[in-house]
Amino acid sequence: MDDPLTISEAKSQTLGVEDRIVGLIPAEYVAEVVRQPQGVLLACDEEHVAWAGGLDVAMQSDPDFTQILEGIESDFGADARYTSTLETDTYGDPKLTLVDQHNGTWIIGPMKSGAVLSVLSFSQCFATPDGMQPSDTY
């Protein structure tokens, strides 16, 4: 929490990384992108929150999720602002976790129901805005 960050900036930065992730998915696999219209504030500590949101990418043409996530990992791995971890979840599916230098986090992996790639997003922590509290939507 080096620099003061507003809720609008936190959301904008987080959505920007979501857009970058979607842009790295080969276009022939993307049928539709559905972004959550609002996110929710999650507590980091008593005085700070993170903005959490996400999106789903409906896939087509029988995508290889491991190959797609490896491509995303390769791109972000070349960017010193991020660390990445590609692993297998408890269901045997690939899961990629990206973390930026301020602990913003993106978790990317296929959903169990259908050919959908899910992106869960969490901004870096910032001071709780006046009049807001954890669990509020924005």
Residue pLDDT tens, the chain, 138 long: 456 899 999 999 999 999 999 999 999 999 999 999 999 999 999 999 999 999 999 999 989 999 999 999 999 999 999 999 999 999 899 999 999 999 999 999 999 767 999 999 999 999 999 999 999 999
pTM above 0.75, yes or no: yes
Partners of residue 137 on adjacent β-strands: 40
Give the containing element (helix H, strand E) for 66.
helix 65-77
What is the predicted pLDDT for the residue at 15? 98
What is the predicted pLDDT for the residue at 62? 87
What is the predicted pLDDT for the residue at 112? 73
**How many CB atoms neighbour CB 54 within 10 A?**
18
Q: How far apart are CA 6 and CA 127, in angstroms?
A: 8
What is the predicted pLDDT for the residue at 2? 53
What is the predicted pLDDT for the residue at 4? 86
Nearest residue to 101 (alpha-carbon basis) of 118, 70, 80: 80
Nearest residue to 120 (alpha-carbon basis) of 65, 57, 66: 57
What is the predicted pLDDT for the residue at 134? 98
In sequence order, what are the residues at sequence separation of 6 or more whose Cβ sits closer than 8 angstroms to the Cβ of residue 88? Answer: 94, 95
